[in-house]
Amino acid sequence: MSRPAERPTEGLPPRVTVVGSVNLDLVARVDRLPAPGETLTAHGVTRVPGGKGANQALAAARLGGRVRLVAAVGDDPLAGEALTLLRAGGVDLAGVRISDDAPTGTAMIQVDDDGETTIVIDAGANATLAVTPDELDADVVLTVLEVPDETVATAMAASAFTVLNAAPARPVAGDVLAGLDLLCVNAAEYGELAAHADLDDVVAVAITHGAAGAELRRRGRVVAQVEPPPVDAVDGTAAGDAFTAALALGLATGLDDEAALRRACRAGALAATRAGAQPSLPTRDEVDVP
């Protein structure tokens, strides 16, 4: 049974702790995604700060949260580059460790003309991340599956509104799922998790369907379905991260299910209209339009 979510202190933005990954993304633009065994010529390669944990931390900060990131990077030049936008965005980086044994994580991303992506990740220092309960004093604790299982379990046992973005997909222990306040997945990730656990036991599950929108289920019952605003997609890399951060903040601060889901779909859609993971993340003023 999940604990009831506590509301943030009245008048103050919610305190959000993100336990997650930091990567430097190497992004190649291509006309279309290659078939197996095929070689294509890119239109250029850019280096962009990324990592699902870092993306969601910056998204939450841009959407009005007071955000702290617990993560790990390598003792290398990529680390400073990967943390640049987080630092500029006001995310508290005191919980970021520097690993002497592993490099900063990287992601190799291909983006086609329709904004569709393929992504390959080298975890690097993200695979070394551990967290202690005393680092989880927050209104919202959010984590992702780009860090070790033990770290995910510790984060999701926090006395807060707990959110798991179960990406990249892999089986998650039943006791971790049972303790969640919110699980965020795309349709493929939902199928992967449902093959190993009964997701109807989770308090709330948000399932995204790309351009078709998203649905929110509570104990297996659909309580809200929303279509995203029409946009011209450029890069979908961080759309799910913007969605997760917006939905977590909305539900934790008392928005009703449909309003929170609609806001999250708007955030995800806006993130898909710009190139790069963190540069694409929308602000509160952009998301909270009439």
| Beta sheet of 214-218, edge-to-edge order | 92-99, 66-74, 15-19, 140-144, 161-165, 182-186, 204-208, 214-218, 221-226
Query: Phi and psi (nearest 5°) for 216?
Result: -120, 125
What pLDDT score does 56 carry? 98
Domain 15-21+52-104+127-279 has CATH 3.40.1190.20: yes
pLDDT of the residue at 6: 52
Q: Which amino acid is at 229?
A: P
- Binding-site entries for K(+): 235, 237, 271, 274, 276, 280
What pLDDT does 284 receive?
96
pLDDT in tens, 37-78: 999 999 999 999 999 999 999 999 999 999 999 999 999 999
Read off the pLDDT band of 98 (50, 70, 90): very high
Annotated catalytic sites, by residue?
241
Instruction: Write out the binding residues for substrate.
Output: 23-25, 51-55, 146, 241
What pTM does this model have?
Answer: 0.92
Tens-place pLDDT, residues 179-221: 999 999 999 999 999 999 999 989 999 999 988 999 999 999 9
Residue type for position 283: T
With residue 242 as reference, give the H or E element that holds it.
Answer: helix 239-252
